[in-house]
Each structure stands twice: as structure tokens, then as C-alpha cells.
Amino acid sequence: MLLLLVVLAGIAGTLGYFYKLSKNAIDTITTDANPATVIPKAKSVAVKPVSIMLLGLDTRKETGSLNTDVMMIAAFNPKTKKATVISIPRDSKIELSGYNSRKANAYYANFLREAEDKTSDKAEADRTAKQGLRKMFGEFFGIPIDYTATINFQGFADVVDALHGVDVNVDMDMNYNDHAGQPDGTSIHLKKGFQHLDGEEALGFVRYRKSNDGKNMSSDFDRNRRQSEVLGEIADKLKSLSGVTKIPGVIKAVGNNMKMDIPSGEVQKMITTYFGISRSDITFIPLEGTWRSPYVYLDADKLEQAKAALRQQLAD
């Protein structure tokens, strides 16, 4: 998700002083790509459509979890300057030949465990796990997935704070404190209605599942819709005059909380290629389905529509 925010921040790419600050901030992003990697011009993101798997990982020490709380597939087309973003419900049951059936958010941890059994190099194991994840979900969606970007929750909150908050319509009262088992520090207290949220409040808004009293239940589909709403609001804020001045801080917030396997030179090209992209240029498609504990069973027709949308965006 935060790599998408970096691209949305691309309007700074041609603005002199802000470009210099943004480039310095881009250099803080952690990349697993070989620094000597040179992408041929014909295959660069500046001229060729690109697909990226975006993973939101809860890396807080209180949880010890490796499950991916947010999963998106984003496709960008440099000719149309448009993007398609598919949100995958975390509890989706994935059934694919050659792979054990699991919840969508459990595959990264499983691939990582398998890789760690074969090597003591943690960085190598992580790269192998992400390669396996890209391959599997690429087969599932019927497209090649070029890169992976992994981000943590703090990065999302920091980006919103760098923009001095976002204005969204909170769809229900939300009251939740984590105090069972090993607390993860989650505290969500929001009132229903249109309001201004800071970073921690926006994070709570997109993550909310239910209140402590069991009321106001929230589904995977609700969370995916909220993610799209906040990303759209961020995109529009970045296009505003006041948003432009905050670009370096936004990219720095991303860089401090992201790992990716995209060569740094390609990140810079991506930003300059897609500068000025706004909410109207991004098609958000949250996958839908039916909840039957413990899985979300994806709607076959909606899934095919999402696959078609990705293929169309990636067409040269």
C-alpha cells in the first residue's frame, strides 16, 4: 500500500527543490534488489506496464505475527497513466493446483518458514518467500507479478500524519481495546460520521473488526473498502497545493517503513512517470465473497472481473 503512496506522491518529481528533497527521501527506502541491477530501457517501468504485490505486515513485537493483514495487487500502465488496485480479503480461501489451500494472509509466513529451513541467511529466506508468493498469486490471477513491497502499520500512520491527517466518513461507532492474551497495543475509538483522522486513528479505521462488546462487526470487505477510501483521500491531498509541500515527508515516512525488491532507479522512474495521478486515475477493486467461518469464499464472477481488469491494465 505504501509503495502506491510513493507513486501518488510523484507530483514532486518535477518540482525542482521538492524533487531534490524527494530523491533524498527515496534513497532511504530499503530495497533487496542488487544495487548493480540495470533494467533495459524496453523493460523499464517508464515504458512497460508493471505489477506489484503490496503487503501490509504487522511487525510489532507484541504480536510476533507474520500474517499479512493487507494484501493488494497493483497494476500500472505508463501509456494511460492509470492504475488498477485489487484488494484481497485476508481470510480468502485460496485454492490453486500445486499449493496447499490456506487463507490468503497465511502464505507469506509459510513460504518464509520453508525458506528458513533451507538457509540461515534471513535476507535470502525473505527474498525466496516473496518470490514464491509472487509466483503463486501470479498464477492465481493469471498475470506476471514483477515486484513485491512489504510495509508495516507504523508506515501507514506516519504517512497520514505527514499529510496532517485525512477526512473520511466513519461508517460506524468503533470501540476496541486489545486486552486479551498478549496485548498488541491496539486502541480504536471513533464515532460514526464524517471527520478528520490522524495517523493512528486512520490506521484503526482501516483495521477495525469489532467492538469489545461484540457489537458493530466489520468484515474483510468493509476493511478493504475503507483502505480504498483512505488511499483515495491521500491521492487527492497530494495533488493539492498544500499537499505538495509535504511530499518529502510522505516519502520519508514510506522509506522508513518499507522493504521492496524494486531497483531504486526504477522507483525514481516510476514516480516521474506517474506524477499527478489522482483518485480518478485509480480503479479500486475490492474482491468480494461469502464468509463461512473460517474462510471468505470469493465470488467467482467478481474474481474473473478483477483478473480481466489487471490484464487490461498490463496490456502494452
pLDDT of amino acid 247: 66
Across the strands, what pairs with 92? 296
59, 152 contact by CB (below 8 A)? yes
pLDDT in tens, 96-149: 999 999 999 999 999 999 999 999 999 899 999 999 999 999 999 999 999 998
In terms of Cα–Cα distance, which of 272, 273, 268, 263 is closest to 23? 268
C-alpha cell at 152: 508495516
pLDDT of amino acid 10: 44
The pTM of the full predicted model, rounded to 2 decimals, is 0.81
pLDDT of amino acid 181: 42
pLDDT of amino acid 6: 54
pLDDT of amino acid 19: 47
- Separation of alpha carbons 87 and 56, rounded Å: 11
Angle between helices 153-162 and 247-255 (to 10 degrees): 170
pLDDT of amino acid 150: 83
pLDDT of amino acid 183: 46
- Separation of alpha carbons 268 and 46, rounded Å: 10
- Separation of alpha carbons 74 and 67, rounded Å: 20
Hey, what domains does the chain have and what are their CATH numbers?
2-314 (3.40.630.190)
Segments in the chain below pLDDT 50: 2, 10-21, 180-183, 241
Angle between helices 264-273 and 17-26 (to 10 degrees): 140
pLDDT of amino acid 67: 64
Buried-state track 211-221, b at ≥16 Cβ within 10 A, e below 16? beeeebebbbb
296, 101 contact by CB (below 8 A)? no
- Separation of alpha carbons 160 and 31, rounded Å: 23
pLDDT of amino acid 194: 95
Across the strands, what pairs with 93? 103
